[in-house]
Structure 1
Amino acid sequence: MVAPPATLGNREPGWGGARCPLPRSPGCPGAGVPGARGALVTPDSYKEKAEGPALLNLETSDEDAPDSLTDSWEDLEEDLRPHRTAQEPRGACSFLEPQFGNYKTVQDSWERWGATPGQPESLALPCRVQRLQVLPHGAHVLATAVSSFSRHVFTCGVGGLKVWHLDNQVAQQRVPESDMHWPVQTPGAYLRACLLAPDGSRLFAGGHHLPGVSTWDLRAPTLHQPDLLPCEGLSCQALDTNHRGSLAFAGFSNGTVRIWDLRDRKAVKDLPGRQGEANSVVVKDDTVWTGGLNGCLRCWDLRAASRKVQKHLFKSQITSMSQSPWEDWLLVGLASGLHWLQPTLKGQAHLAGHKNGAILDLKFSPYGQWWVSVGTDRMTTIHSTPSGTTELQVPEKACITCCDVSANNRLIVTGARSRASVYQLTY
């Protein structure tokens, strides 16, 4: 059994040496922050400066080299633009790239201190996390998705989008639908976001220098060229759908949120915004929430002619958001390493734990009993709801840029540098 979470921050031999060289944020002291164990702290009452560390530079290719730093998500985008997909021919490139002999099977596992196995999944926290597989995407992984419906893992980033088939929760060395493609791309194009529809039947992917957001119907017998949701000249940063799966939403780097009707793939409305204000998008019932690099959290009511009805300011860049599946909460992750739970109806946000570095992605579990967050501290961390207490941590060799949780509550997938890791949860 591993040591308690408080000691897991110490880097073990073989895990890439020192931590990411981040400046210590005043908002994330090593001994914890006010409210980290569930005490109510609001953005207004939290007085310490929480600008947070600079964010990760993805330019470095050495897996074990320290991560260099940039000042903002705009700089991160600039770091990616020099990359060229020269290994792919100009034109339609293979969406599914068969992988042979490049898989790495591992059997690392971590257990939650004092956990009692055999608890109901809908009520319990994971008591054990086991790393099953390492998937060699081959270039920086910027987004991941895992489907328990079709048993696939999707990884996307600078090298396009790849699909890995799971058999008994282990990725096979072959892929079944080798005729899937993504659209013609310009030099410097890359995928920044991918998303599965609520029922797992459709895949969305969007990014930079692409003619639109691509969508694939995963129930189709053959998967050729995807449908396109047009957004020529816009750089997609985030994706979401409504709970019925009839509308798609994308946030762009210029602050705009575009809404499409998936029945005819036509844009029905643009919600205006300023540069960097829509790097995160969450659709909750009839409201659209956007989080920006200026620390502004906005809410739009789709029933009131898409009128902006709420605005909240945080003291750090908003880097990721996730909605609770059962409660009226929106989880907000900041570059300062803090988590905030924002009520979506009434009330003030309260602090809910932290990480020792910038949060780059987070996701609620399907039952809402816990969430996973990743970032520049090189840790995949499981936090309990609603206090944000750190329950379990898994170390990685590099800063972790993205994560996803399967709908069956059994798998976590994370992306770090040029590979993704698949974890199995035991309750």
Structure 2
Amino acid sequence: MQLFASQTVGQRQSLVVTAQLQQAIQLLQMGNSDLQSFIEGQAEENPFLELGLPRAPAPREMSLPSQARAGGDDDWDRIGQLAADPGPSLYAHASAEVARLDLSSADRMLAGLFLDALEPSGWLGQPVSAIAERAGVDEEHATHLLRILQRIEPAGLFARNLAECLRLQAAEQGLLTPAFDKLLANLPMLASADLRGLTRACGVDLDTLKAMLRQIRSLNPKPGATFDAAPSPQRPPDLIVTASAEGWRVDLNRSTLPSVVVRADAARDMGTRRTEANAYVAERLSVARWLARAVEHRNQTTLKVGAEVVRRQADFLQGGLSRMHPMILREVAEAIGVHESTVSRVCAGILIATPQGTFPLKSFFSAALGSSTGDAPGSASAVRHRIGKMIAAENPEDPLSDDTIARIIKDEDGIHLARRTVAKYRDQLRIPSSVDRRRRAVMNG
């Protein structure tokens, strides 16, 4: 066997993902707030780059012909998005209340262990026996102190379970009758809507039981959640849709849109004074100019995608979710001349403010559902909205099953839906099944 070396020549094309290309792809996925953070980080490393937020720039817009006229010209109100003062946390509130109690130093240490075991719901997250063992006291003494701590407002704090939490609140409001106490002792029967069993267990008639159920619904099962449930501030939108004389107008939200400022004069001064720094100056200046172009390209692409989406969903802007048309990424990509993955990346992190509310841009993309009437196919979003309205208007004592909903939509709208598809859309809307809805109606009287 002979071995010999040979050399061949060929051509091959390949795409090399450079660091700059990776950054350009990341910029497409950023909202205005993320983009500002990114530019700030780049400005800390580059002396020839600054973050700029123009106060009153000329609006960059695309007017779309439309017969619809809706909405107003009000810009995004940033002041209205400021979160209110959430107040003290649950731990701070409970600690302040414990400090007001006349406790000995040993009991204060034990109370600190109870505070550490307090969960965000307001319940006690550890057994009393474990807390007593850690403190080196007997369980009876720890239980006595727990009863003192359970007097702290709001009622229900330091409860060991749901029944005790509700019992503490019922006692404070004067609702804890013997029958009500038996109701709290049979919460599993209440969960299964066994009203006949509850009437026997509580020794009351059905009307009295329904009155007790209305009282129990007025209690708070998680009293501690009111302290740490500060509303998360809503992120301002990146695109704003308004109605103009020419039709629907799509603007970039310039009140939050950052820009890149290239300090070319500083680069010239540094290059003149220090000849040996010319290579560094040229490299940093090139990076700053590339980032400015990349951000501008990101803004242009975002505006094009948003304008095309609004053009295709003009009926939604006037009629709401029931007028949503089916639309896929490929259709928008072909219309504006970009790749489908580019549209997907832009829609991933962009919010758009419309006369119907503020939505993620990706929520406008919906699959088409088959129609038997010969009309245009319906969108999954519109059908999902239709299911929600049907369930909201149903008779609580006779809720619509998934099969019934599918049959009604087929008969009235001509859209074929399988039962499992209705169940999937119902789960996405966080609507329980017809069995659970009927059980809830029974509990609500």
TM above 0.5, yes or no, is: no
Higher Cα Rg, which structure: 2
Give the TM-score normalised by structure 1. 0.22
Give the TM-score normalised by structure 2. 0.21
More strand by share: 1
